[in-house]
Amino acid sequence: MKFFVSACALLCALSVTSAWSQNAPNGQFGVGLTLDSSYSGAQFTYAVNPNIHVGARLGFASMSQGGVSQSQFGFGPFFRYLFTSSGVTPYLHAEFAYASTSTAGQSVTSSALLLGGGVAYYWNATFGIRGEINLLGLGLDPSYTQFSIVPARIGVDWFFGR
């Protein structure tokens, strides 16, 4: 719940400061960090133009507690369509999520198609922050359908190449 409140506060702050923002990245590669309520990781993005961004998320987590160790790996290629190119920019987001979790030698994998949206704010064509939620999760393996507003994610991006 604290994560969701923090994400909402970030989105409100973005809307107040939209008058000082610049255009979204265009024709640039970017790297970033994504914080998620389940696991965090790096993000690699290519801004095809100011309205279309493609990329992938990579995440890894390892934990040991009470003699039991667990590790998790996540990979998620994504597509974003940004509606405007200046100010607080709303976008639609689609991601294919693959996760592999290993606990005490037992390995489990899962895959899903995630659909949602968010907002991004770019101070300039180099640096931006974003927040997003998944509204629909379609599990491929195992099969499921989930309507929700989790996980909420926030992130920062640094674009270069211009």
pLDDT recorded at residue 161: 76
What the block records as the tokens of 150 is 């989790």
CATH class, domain 2-160, is: mainly beta
pLDDT score for 86:
66
Q: Which amino acid is at 83?
A: F
Of 101, 16, 110, 115, the closest CA to residue 61 belongs to 101
The domain ranges of the chain are: 2-160
Contact by Cβ (8 Å): 119, 129: no
> In terms of pLDDT, which residue wins out, 140 or 65?
140
pLDDT digits (tens, 9 = 90+) for 17-43: 444 446 789 999 999 999 987 668 999
Which DSSP symbol is given to 127? E
Residue 105's pLDDT is: 82
- 150-to-53, 93, 119, 121, 154 alpha-carbon distances in Å: 22, 14, 15, 21, 12
Query: What amino acid is encoded at 16 in this protein?
Result: V
Query: pTM of the prediction?
Result: 0.80
Distance, CA of 23 to CA of 6 (rounded, Å): 25
- Predicted confidence (pLDDT) per residue in 90-121, tens digit: 999 999 999 999 998 899 999 999 999 999 99
pLDDT at residue 148, as a whole number: 87
State whether the Cα torsion 87-157-38-56 is positive or negative: positive
* Under 8 Å between Cβ of 84 and 92: no
What tens digit of pLDDT does each residue of 27-83 get? Answer: 999 999 999 876 689 999 999 999 999 999 999 888 888 888 889 999 999 999 999
What ranges make up the beta strands (E) of the chain? 28-36, 41-49, 52-65, 68-82, 88-103, 106-122, 127-141, 143-147, 152-160
Token pair in block for residue 46: 């290519």
Q: Return the structure tokens found at 31.
A: 């790297």
Question: How far is the C-alpha of 152 from the C-alpha of 78, rounded, in Å?
Answer: 16
Unique residue bearing structure tokens 């300039």: 124
